[in-house]
Structure 1
């Protein structure tokens, strides 16, 4: 009889406890929920980051578009105003051809007051453009600082010239340059800077 009791005890000892199973299952279930919640949170965070990035890109694109539109409108307004004031557009610059006469320095002062300067001619197309007005006009070339060292008003040295035959020939008494001829490629002449002449301003077409 005693032996049967021991066998029964051994048999019951090997049977899993239902309450222990329930606790273990609950623990696993809680861990699974926590993992699922963490993964869900990470996904939501990533989605939020992507949406925020897209919104930032859209905002930047909108700002760039608005800036370009404003700059374009400003440039159009500037061109319209200059055209109404008598300026003429050619190859990236606006040009003003005077209807009155001034000395070279007075002419330059007028251009500077307008945000421009006396014209700098550094290519044949521009030279041909300036002669089409058929006026004796001051241009932005002088050797007033150093005799025979011709410089443009922006300080750059003369590299491409269109001197008339025998020019320049005025020495120290003729330190400024005018357009002398209209039907010849060689049309420049040096002259006394105090001579009243028409003039031509140049304004670069840039913001």
Structure 2
């Protein structure tokens, strides 16, 4: 009887054990599957987030690029009045008449400009070419008193003199008021009186 019981119970017991084992393995598999799906979802959400950020940055870049292009076009498209010549972002005018330095500056003011301020070698070359064969022109450089009969060179816009194209023999410092003028070779000389052509810039 016992042998019959064990012999008949054996297969059911084995089947039950196998089912339990399958259930035991199925739970981790389901958990791993869920974790995998969650990881995929997380990666997908992150991808969408990065894509949106990239699009936003691209839009901002495009706007900045368009603004920069418009500014460049505005600067390069600046029109100079009749008789004025363009160099860089400024317009220049050299009247035919001769005046004192102060009279020249006043006339430039009346034209909505000031005497030219020369910032570099290329601009100095351009100014010298405006003189052509007609000699010399006042520029916007003068000395200003610093006290104790001492004078320093300054441009009409208030900036100090940093680069100079002074002709040989011209002093760096002075003890009186002087104004500078440029000749057709681009050399700067100084005088405290007299009448010359002049160059306005705006």
Structure 2 length normalisation: TM-score?
0.66
Q: Which runs of 5+ in 1 are unaligned?
A: 203-207
Mapping of residues 11-30 of structure 1, within 5 Å: 11-12=7-8, 14-15=10-11, 16=13, 18-19=15-16, 21-30=18-27
The CA RMSD over aligned residues, in Å, is 4.0
- What is the aligned partner in structure 1 of residue 50 from structure 2? 53
- Alpha-carbon contact 2:91-2:201 (below 8 Å) kept: yes
- Alpha-carbon contact 1:117-1:140 (below 8 Å) kept: yes
Distance (Å, rounded) in 2 between the aligned partners of 1:65 and 1:130: 39
Change (3 A) 1:137 1:175: same
- Alpha-carbon contact 2:115-2:199 (below 8 Å) kept: no
Matched, 1:7 2:38: no
Q: Which runs of 5+ in 2 are unaligned?
A: none
Distance (Å, rounded) in 2 between the aligned partners of 1:170 and 1:21: 110
Structure 1 length normalisation: TM-score?
0.65
- What is the aligned partner in structure 2 of residue 160 from structure 1? 164
Mapping of residues 1-207 of structure 1, within 5 Å: 5-12=1-8, 14-15=10-11, 16=13, 18-19=15-16, 21-80=18-77, 82-85=78-81, 88-90=85-87, 92-97=88-93, 99=95, 103=102, 106=106, 118-123=116-121, 125-134=122-131, 137-146=137-146, 147-152=150-155, 153=157, 155-163=159-167, 171-172=175-176, 174-179=177-182, 181-182=183-184, 184-192=185-193, 198-201=198-201
Give 1:88 shift. 4.0
Q: Please identify, of 52-61 and 8-17, the stretch whose mean Cα deviation from structure 2 is larger.
A: 8-17
Encode CA deviations 1:115-171: one digit per residue, 9 max, x unaligned: x88412442x32221022227544232221343532344533454323376678985
Distance (Å, rounded) in 2 between the aligned partners of 1:168 and 1:84: 35
Distance (Å, rounded) in 2 between the aligned partners of 1:192 and 1:169: 18
Give 1:185 shift. 4.0
SS at match of 2:79: helix
Distance (Å, rounded) in 2 between the aligned partners of 1:166 and 1:33: 93
Give 1:27 shift. 4.7
